[in-house]
Amino acid sequence: MSSENKKTYKRKSTAPKAKKPVKNVKTSAKNTSKNAKANSSAKRKQYKKKQVEKVTKPPIKIAFLGGLNEIGKNLTVFECNDDIIILDCGMAFPDGDMLGVDLVIPDFTYLEQNKDRVKGIVITHAHEDHIGGLPYLLSKVNVPIYGTRLTVGLIENKLREHSLDKVNLHVVETGGFVKLGCFDVELIHVNHSIPDSVGVAIHSPAGVIVHTGDFKIDYTPMSGGMINLSRFSQLGEEGVLALLADSTNASRPGYTATEQTVAESFDTLFRRARHNRIIIATFASNISRVQQIINCAKKFDRKVAFSGRSMVNYMNVAKELGYLEVDDSLIIDIDQLKDYPNEKVVLVTTGSQGEPMSALSRMAYSDHRKVSVGAGDFIIISANPIPGNERTVGNVVDELLKRGCEVVHESMYEVHVSGHACQEELKLLHSLVKPKYFIPVHGEQKHLRKHMDLALSLGMKRSNVFIGDIGKVVELTETQMKEVAPVPSGKVFVDGLGVGDVGSIVLRDRKHLGQDGLIIIVASLDVYDGHVISGPDIVSRGFVYVRESEGLLDEVKERALNILEDCAQRNVHEWGVIKNKIKDDVSKLILQRTRRSPMILPILMEV
């Protein structure tokens, strides 16, 4: 800068400021006051506009068709702006009262009634309690299915078994988005007992709904990396309308153990059973567990065979998609077990839940065509009993012990860790997501209530927590959460190829037959006057041993004959009336004589 310019700059900077007239000061004050009022008015208008926007946001409805107050058959329906999406579609195991039932699926009536509005199904992972109902739903409501690579691969295999080949399956990577009507569904990586498991963030016009799916926080998982906590945290910072979270282990304090503890236990047990044949029962879908078994078998120079159709199918798909790393020379067919000494083989089988038709149950009851167990077999049950299955698992263990097997299960060694989060993990995720509303899912009532208590301990208002049930529907907006009209729901029984043809009446009859047996009364009547031509003949099944109860059966025969002749004398020819009379009178007779109540089945023929 030149000296002349410097002087000019100095003069300008040191020149005295002109005094403003008082009149200008008053004008400025008035202007300032006007500007302040204008700004205040603008802010009020802007605030009102935001409030109107909040109110005018459409509500989102969440309907629960499964997964609440029960273990399994998870199915949740989200509805907004006349669009519907489905999250998971699982099945459940039948309990002891469901005689003859193979599996239980949700009631799809509501989805059938609204199938034109259903945009797609998103699957969180490939466990049966999340995909087992798909073949039955897709036969009625054929919509696209979205999931991660392994999930879709296992679904495709399942649908092939049911001859369903015209289904749109779409692979979505974790972190990816699926556009379904007004919904934008984001898949978020989580840890679970099967690879490629995800939670979801459902971005809707009503707000963001986060559903964890089945999850835990594992810092050292066998595959796939740690759960994406940073994304859950980011969603929490952006604002989450509601959180739906897995409640299975809500009553368990602390943290769920890492899968690495199971690997260490397997190593110890393989050393202990160095002279025995090792048989390990686990879930077919627990691919990480099978990988641990294969790694251990390779370390101890053992061949591996698989037993159980679902186990073989899962392993083939997992290997084909690269989720199971195994040397082909390590795997043998189950028929080749006899070609190797006991200390050189490991058999991986289904049946960890004591299912009657599973491979391990067949072995325990000497009903397996290819494997006989006995002294020298070291059997590991690497799974927790699903609530309700404790007795069946215990029965299988007892039978194996009777045959001289050594049996190890989860309470003896750490041969199984849960795939579900315990209390501290649940609280951590809740704190990261910071939802306005909270809905515990996936569990029985005691699990849901305990999960609610955890949320309340973190500062959640009780009015912002919803404890649901099958068929219930909750409607959410920015300003309120309320329960609305329920939807059709319930349990549908699958028995063989029959779906829904076994109901409560059939189950009641089966239970009746199982407890007290059956008496069949057969008689031939004259077509003209209704008198007895032959019979009645008495057939007993499951009631009494005929040779030792001839006197009682003769009384039954005489009572039935008297009823038939009395009806003929009184000119009663309506078979419904005659049969009911026989049932009532014979039942009373038998109850007096035996204190039992068998099913009475009259069969009448006109000649």
Domain boundaries, the chain: 60-255+418-495, 260-409, 503-606
* Cβ 239 vs Cβ 306: under 8 Å: no
Q: What is the pLDDT of residue 22?
A: 40
**Residue 244: pLDDT over 60:** yes
How many angstroms separate the CA atoms of 8 and 247, rounded? 78
Q: Which of 88, 246, 377, 495 is catalytic?
A: 246
377-431 per-position pLDDT tens digit? 999 998 877 766 778 888 899 999 999 999 987 666 677 888 999 999 999 999 9
364-376 per-position pLDDT tens digit? 998 888 999 999 8
* 503-606 fold: Ubiquitin-like (UB roll) (3.10.20)
Q: What is the pLDDT of residue 16?
A: 42
* 60-255+418-495 fold: Metallo-beta-lactamase; Chain A (3.60.15)
Q: Which of 420, 430, 442, 447 is catalytic?
A: 420
* 260-409 fold: Rossmann fold (3.40.50)
Let me know if 246 is a catalytic residue: yes
Across the chain, mean pLDDT equals 84
The full DSSP string for 47-107 is HHHHHHHHHHSPPEEEEEEESBSBSS--EEEEEETTEEEEE----B---TTSTT--EEEE-
Let me know if 585 is a catalytic residue: no
The full DSSP string for 190-244 is -B-SSSS-EEEEEEETTEEEEE--S-B--SS-SSS-S--HHHHHHHHHH-EEEEE
pTM above 0.85, yes or no: no
* Cβ 214 vs Cβ 197: under 8 Å: yes
Q: Angle at which helices 309-320 and 149-161 pack, to 10 degrees?
A: 140
Q: What percent of the chain has pLDDT over 70?
A: 85
Banded pLDDT at 514 (limits 50, 70, 90): low
98-123 per-position pLDDT tens digit? 666 778 889 999 999 999 999 999 99
Tokens of 74: 């998870």
